[in-house]
Amino acid sequence: MAENSQFFMTDIARVKVMKAGVPQRSIHGPLIFILYLNFPVTQHCFKRLLEDGVKLKASIPGKKGVLRLLQEAINKAEFWFSSWRCKTMMEVLSVVLFNCGRPL
Protein backbone atom coordinates (compact mmCIF):
# COMPACT_ATOMS: atom_id res chain seq x y z
CA MET A 1 0.00 0.00 0.00
CA ALA A 2 2.95 2.35 0.43
CA GLU A 3 3.18 2.96 -3.33
CA ASN A 4 -0.55 3.44 -3.96
CA SER A 5 -1.80 6.75 -5.30
CA GLN A 6 -5.24 8.19 -4.78
CA PHE A 7 -6.97 10.64 -7.05
CA PHE A 8 -9.27 13.28 -5.65
CA MET A 9 -10.74 16.53 -6.90
CA THR A 10 -9.78 19.91 -5.54
CA ASP A 11 -9.68 23.22 -7.35
CA ILE A 12 -7.04 21.64 -9.55
CA ALA A 13 -6.96 17.88 -10.08
CA ARG A 14 -3.71 16.27 -8.95
CA VAL A 15 -2.36 13.01 -7.59
CA LYS A 16 -1.69 12.79 -3.86
CA VAL A 17 0.16 9.90 -2.23
CA MET A 18 -1.78 8.58 0.77
CA LYS A 19 0.55 7.59 3.61
CA ALA A 20 -2.17 6.54 6.04
CA GLY A 21 -5.90 6.21 6.36
CA VAL A 22 -8.60 5.27 3.89
CA PRO A 23 -9.65 7.71 1.16
CA GLN A 24 -13.33 8.68 1.15
CA ARG A 25 -15.54 6.96 -1.44
CA SER A 26 -12.95 4.22 -1.87
CA ILE A 27 -13.94 0.66 -2.71
CA HIS A 28 -11.27 -0.40 -0.22
CA GLY A 29 -13.04 1.31 2.69
CA PRO A 30 -15.24 -1.63 3.78
CA LEU A 31 -12.31 -4.08 3.67
CA ILE A 32 -10.05 -1.77 5.66
CA PHE A 33 -12.88 -1.21 8.16
CA ILE A 34 -13.24 -4.98 8.67
CA LEU A 35 -9.49 -5.30 9.24
CA TYR A 36 -9.62 -2.38 11.66
CA LEU A 37 -12.36 -4.03 13.70
CA ASN A 38 -10.54 -7.35 13.78
CA PHE A 39 -7.37 -6.27 15.49
CA PRO A 40 -5.56 -9.13 17.21
CA VAL A 41 -5.69 -9.87 20.91
CA THR A 42 -3.81 -12.40 23.00
CA GLN A 43 -4.65 -16.10 23.17
CA HIS A 44 -6.87 -16.02 26.28
CA CYS A 45 -8.45 -12.61 25.67
CA PHE A 46 -11.66 -11.94 23.85
CA LYS A 47 -13.02 -8.67 22.55
CA ARG A 48 -16.48 -7.25 22.15
CA LEU A 49 -16.94 -4.34 19.79
CA LEU A 50 -19.08 -1.48 20.98
CA GLU A 51 -20.29 1.63 19.18
CA ASP A 52 -17.54 3.79 20.61
CA GLY A 53 -14.96 1.33 21.86
CA VAL A 54 -13.88 -2.20 22.59
CA LYS A 55 -14.41 -4.33 25.68
CA LEU A 56 -11.66 -6.85 26.43
CA LYS A 57 -12.31 -9.98 28.48
CA ALA A 58 -9.91 -12.58 29.85
CA SER A 59 -10.73 -15.87 31.48
CA ILE A 60 -8.02 -17.70 33.41
CA PRO A 61 -7.53 -18.60 37.08
CA GLY A 62 -5.80 -15.99 39.20
CA LYS A 63 -6.26 -12.25 39.58
CA LYS A 64 -2.67 -11.34 38.62
CA GLY A 65 -2.78 -13.53 35.51
CA VAL A 66 -5.98 -11.89 34.26
CA LEU A 67 -4.60 -8.39 34.79
CA ARG A 68 -1.39 -9.37 32.97
CA LEU A 69 -3.36 -10.79 30.03
CA LEU A 70 -5.54 -7.71 29.76
CA GLN A 71 -2.48 -5.44 29.80
CA GLU A 72 -0.82 -7.56 27.10
CA ALA A 73 -3.98 -7.30 24.98
CA ILE A 74 -4.07 -3.52 25.40
CA ASN A 75 -0.38 -3.23 24.50
CA LYS A 76 -0.80 -5.48 21.45
CA ALA A 77 -3.85 -3.54 20.24
CA GLU A 78 -2.07 -0.22 20.74
CA PHE A 79 0.96 -1.44 18.75
CA TRP A 80 -1.30 -2.81 15.98
CA PHE A 81 -3.23 0.45 15.65
CA SER A 82 -0.07 2.56 15.67
CA SER A 83 1.54 0.36 12.99
CA TRP A 84 -1.48 1.17 10.78
CA ARG A 85 -1.22 4.84 11.77
CA CYS A 86 -4.58 4.81 13.50
CA LYS A 87 -4.87 7.14 16.45
CA THR A 88 -6.52 5.62 19.49
CA MET A 89 -7.29 6.56 23.05
CA MET A 90 -6.15 3.50 24.97
CA GLU A 91 -7.81 4.14 28.30
CA VAL A 92 -8.97 1.61 30.83
CA LEU A 93 -12.03 2.99 32.50
CA SER A 94 -12.70 0.05 34.79
CA VAL A 95 -11.71 -3.51 35.52
CA VAL A 96 -14.28 -5.94 36.95
CA LEU A 97 -13.06 -9.29 38.24
CA PHE A 98 -15.50 -12.19 38.56
CA ASN A 99 -15.17 -15.36 40.60
CA CYS A 100 -17.62 -18.11 39.62
CA GLY A 101 -19.96 -15.57 38.05
CA ARG A 102 -19.90 -13.12 40.96
CA PRO A 103 -17.91 -9.84 41.08
CA LEU A 104 -14.96 -9.95 43.50
* 39-86 confidence digits (pLDDT tens): 667 777 877 766 666 777 887 777 778 888 888 888 888 888 788 777
> Dihedral of the CA atoms 60, 88, 32, 71 (nearest 10)?
-20
Q: Give a yes or no: residue 50 inside a domain.
A: yes
The boundaries of the domain holding residue 35 are 25-94
Residue 86 lies in a domain: yes
Q: Is the pTM of this model over 0.75?
A: no
Looking at the structure of the chain, the number of domains it has is 1
Assess if residue 18 is contained within a domain: no
**CB-count exposure of residue 19 (10 Å: 0-12, 13-18, 19+):** exposed
Q: Is residue 57 part of a domain?
A: yes
Judge whether 80 lies within some domain. yes
- For residue 7, being part of any structural domain is answered with no
